[in-house]
Amino acid sequence: MTRLRGRWLERPWGRMRVWEAGRGGAILLVHGLGGSGRYFERLAARLDGRFRIVAPDLAGFGSSDKPKLGYERAAHLEDLDAVAERFGDRAPNVAGHSLGGLFAALWAARHPDAVRSLAIVAAPFPSPDEQAVWTHEPEVPAAARVTVPLAAATVRLLAVPIGVARRYPPAVAFDYARQTVRSRNRTIRSVLYDPSVGADLEGVRALDGRFPILLEHARDDRTVGPDAHERWRALLPSAEHRVVAGGHQVQLHDGFRTLAGWLDGVAG
């Protein structure tokens, strides 16, 4: 069975963990909020070497360093540039889950001539009109955080919800706890509520019809509602769209069957 192996990529802010597996055409995979590249372990197993998986831990998440950065979306996208340059190929397939689906779309819009296909799975849609909610960084109750020593520094991390710990693979649940309050809140604010994200979405709109695009939404998703899926459909009307049974983590729980089948069909 194909397994992910971790490598390090040096960035100006510190070390970025990148998970790899397989051979052939590259798939650049972007995890959701609180996740890590190891979220895609079961996809690597299902594809079983037919593609080369490249799945980074974004700055502030998973095994990557947790610097005191602003965690702006431009910085995350520049990190994905570095990952693609170091580990990808000239025309990667790109896919992301949840907030990673939005990052995947924004990254593809930066490189429209260098993308083979794009899959946006259970992704929220930006709501810049709600930015007033994020005028400050809220304090997290003590019951919802843990403090651990990292390289002589103290970093406040989020505790793992019981449902995550019970239902996720151990590595995924462990990495969920490694995000910091800062990386989580500022990433959300930058990619979902920053008014300037509207201009970036126009770049995504320009991708319509250029290469195969999948929009997937889970029917019982309680994290990202159907309105987000409809807004993605309006932005990318030529994309293939699928509504599947299950919740927000349906791909993880069914072994990425839907995404793997789509990738085999359009990018194999």
Q: The pTM is what?
A: 0.88
Q: List residues bridging with 17 in a β-sheet.
A: 8
Predicted local confidence at residue 5, as pLDDT: 95
**Count of the separate structural domains present in the chain:** 1
> Above 70 in pLDDT, residue 223?
yes
Domain residues for the domain of 90 are: 5-267
CA distance 207 to 54: 22
> Above 50 in pLDDT, residue 154?
no
Q: What is the mean pLDDT of residues 36-61?
A: 95
**In this prediction, what percent of the chain has a pLDDT beyond 90?**
74
Q: How confident is the model at residue 152 (pLDDT cuts 50, 70, 90)?
A: very low
CATH code for position 52: 3.40.50.1820
Q: What is the mean pLDDT of residues 144-161?
A: 43
